[in-house]
Each structure stands twice: as C-alpha cells, then as structure tokens.
Structure 1
C-alpha cells in the first residue's frame, strides 16, 4: 500500500484502478498469486479512485465481492467461455449486487 500512497500525485490522471487478480485466472500467462477480496478492499481503503475488480471472477464467486467497496467487475473468461453470454451477464449482475 505504500506504493499506492506514494503514487497519488500520478493518479490524478487516472479514472479508475483495475485491481486483482482477485482469484486465480487462466487469462494471463504470468502466475501471480491472487490478491483475494481482502486485497481489493485494502486497495479501496487507500485510494479515492473507483475500483474495478478483475481476475478469475466467475458466476460462482462474484457474490464474494458483493460487500467490497468497488465500482464494478471486469471478467474475460466468464464471458468468452459462456454458451449463453446474455444469461451469464445477467447472473453476474444479479449475484454481484
């Protein structure tokens, strides 16, 4: 979090922060340990910028972010691997609220 606080002046040109990977993701080659919901919350507590959670977010785990102070989620595989994108988006929105 020290890095985030130190970079506050540079963040004046940033509209939001993508924060994650929340969970293990198959969309990235790098194998960086996920930050989890607690990591997302820590970032949110240390900035005034809107937070968009990203990384490994699926229909079965999006509800864990329900109480996190985030502006939204971003997902790749939940959409690209879906057989019914409209239904998947609806489920993500319902469970993530």
Structure 2
C-alpha cells in the first residue's frame, strides 16, 4: 500500500522555532508531527470509548432501576474526605 501524506500546516515562525526547540535528539519535525497526530487520535479514540461506556452504563442503570443518585455519592465521598482529614498523618521511615 502506498503511503499517504498529512496536509502541511502553516504556523508563525516563532511557533515553529518553539516546536523545533523541543525536538528530541535526532528527531525530525516530521516525526514529531506524526507522533503528535497519533497521540491525538489515540486520545480521542479513548475519550470516545469512555463516553460510550458511560452512556451504556447509564442506560443499563435506568433499565434496571439499580443506581445511586449523584448527590448521595458526592455526600458519601465528602464524609469520607472529612474523616480522612481528621485522622493523623502516617509517617514513613
């Protein structure tokens, strides 16, 4: 399969200099751009999957009626936080 190209991006010279200043030893601008795009794609894929899981969980909870109201969860977490802050700190040796 033939390689494809990503469209070039026009940036201010100052920004290009900033990008070039953070390149790793022996790293090219093209390698940096490719790795940045790959990381962005992965981050968006993970975010989409996270949202989809949350929506499925919400729908399942609504169907079953087995869920806890957000205010109840937050109140419980707040009580735990208050209790944890009252406990003396443990010192490590």
**Which one has a larger percent strand, Structure 1 or Structure 2?**
1
Q: Tell me which interval the TM-score lies in, with the shorter structure as reference length.
A: under 0.3
> Whose relative contact order is higher, 1 or 2, with alpha carbons under 8 Å and at least 6 apart?
1
**Which one has a larger percent helix, Structure 1 or Structure 2?**
2
TM-score by length of 1: 0.21
Which structure has the larger Rg?
Answer: 2
